[in-house]
Amino acid sequence: MENRRITIIGGGNLGSAIAEGLIRTALVKNENITITRRKVYLLNALKEKGVNVLVDNVAAVQDADIVLLVVKPYQVVDILNEIKPVLNSRMIVISMVAGTSLAELQTVIGDRIPLFRAMPNTAIALCESMTCLSFDSKWKEQKDVVMNLFDLLGSTAVINEELMAAATVLGSCGIAFALRFMRAAMQGGIEIGFSAEMAQFITAQTMKGASELILKSNHHPEREIDKVTTPRGITISGLNEMEHQGFSSSLIHGLITSFEKIGAGKK
Ligand SMILES: NC(=O)c1ccc[n+]([C@@H]2O[C@H](COP(=O)([O-])OP(=O)(O)OC[C@H]3O[C@@H](n4cnc5c(N)ncnc54)[C@H](OP(=O)(O)O)[C@@H]3O)[C@@H](O)[C@H]2O)c1
């Protein structure tokens, strides 16, 4: 990956997080990373680390090996038309744009340009993203390069494109859902005696530990919960009260509401 030149079109929340993650891997040279946005002064921190910061998307793409599209859905077609003259079949274009299908994008750039969709999350800045990938089978030769890139930046799963909207909700919006759980736990922690700082530390490390228990063992969460719940005990009484108040149900309703907002049935 060291000598590949990676261009990020759209240096906003996710685009900047990807640049931070790439720097963190130390496997891509900072001078081989290029990032664009119109308000470039907002990318000074990346510029100071040796990343190329540009306004001109065409100049940013012309020598790239991998082009990441990280702009809003309503911007992506205009930007693809802008960079299309400098795209070639040795490049790989990877779109992270929610709700815009491979077919829509491929129609704009033509069928000679390798195209992938990736749905990461902002933990990519720490190389802890969950990234879901989909692509047309005609680009299977490029798959290893794309998988290697996202494996450096966290964990990767290849999914059918019809699940991309679901991946957006569960994996990408999921960061916000998990953090709202964290905030609620902290609020409770403060009420039962901790300072905000200590409540945050205890909650964050506990959530990290819970994730690790599942990722390392592959156990169903309830199997780990059984180890914490003594008959007539403290934990089960709290858990049951949370369920009486609609904990699981509200989470599922929230996921479905987000999914419907993307447009159910839209890839
Ligand atoms: N945020 C997430 O967690 C997340 C996760 C998965 C997928 N996504 C997807 O990633 C995309 C970006 O999301 P985001 O949250 O990062 O949005 P964002 O913070 O608004 O970033 C979009 C960036 O695009 C830049 N931009 C606009 N027009 C441009 C142009 N002509 N050339 C170059 N850059 C341009 C904007 O900067 P200027 O206005 O300065 O140009 C802005 O910083 C969306 O399609 C979203 O669905 C986001």
Q: What are the residue ranges of helices labelled H in the chain?
A: 13-25, 44-48, 57-61, 76-83, 102-109, 143-152, 164-167, 174-191, 196-217, 221-226, 234-244, 247-262
Could you tell me which residues come within 8 angstroms of residue 112 by beta carbon, excluding any fewer than 6 positions away?
89
Whether 267 maps to a domain, the answer reads no
Going from the Cα of 185 to the center of ligand 1, the distance in angstroms, rounded, reads 31
Provide the token pair at 233: 């005990």
Please check whether residues 26 and 137 belong to one and the same domain: yes
Please check whether residues 96 and 192 belong to one and the same domain: no
Atom of ligand 1 nearest to the CA of 36: 33
pLDDT per residue of the chain (267 residues) written in tens, 0 to 9: 778 999 999 999 999 999 999 999 999 999 999 999 999 999 999 999 999 999 999 999 999 999 999 999 999 999 999 999 999 999 999 999 999 999 999 999 999 999 999 999 999 999 999 999 999 999 999 999 999 999 999 999 999 999 999 999 999 999 999 999 999 999 999 999 999 999 999 999 999 999 999 999 999 999 999 999 999 999 999 999 999 999 999 999 999 999 999 874 454
Predicted TM-score of the model (pTM): 0.95
Atom of ligand 1 nearest to the CA of 79: 31
Please check whether residues 225 and 132 belong to one and the same domain: no
Residue nearest to atom 30 of ligand 1 (CA): 37
CATH of the domain at 229: 1.10.3730.10
| Nearest of 155, 156, 21, 14 to residue 97 by alpha carbon | 14
Whether 1 maps to a domain, the answer reads no
Q: Give the C-alpha separation, 215 to 219, whole Å.
A: 8
Burial class (CB in 10 A: 0-12, 13-18, 19+), 232: exposed
Which residues line ligand 1 at a C-beta cut-off of 6 Å? Answer: 9-15, 36-39, 57, 70-73, 75, 79, 96-98, 119-122, 172
Write out the residue range of the structural domain in which residue 134 sits. Answer: 6-159
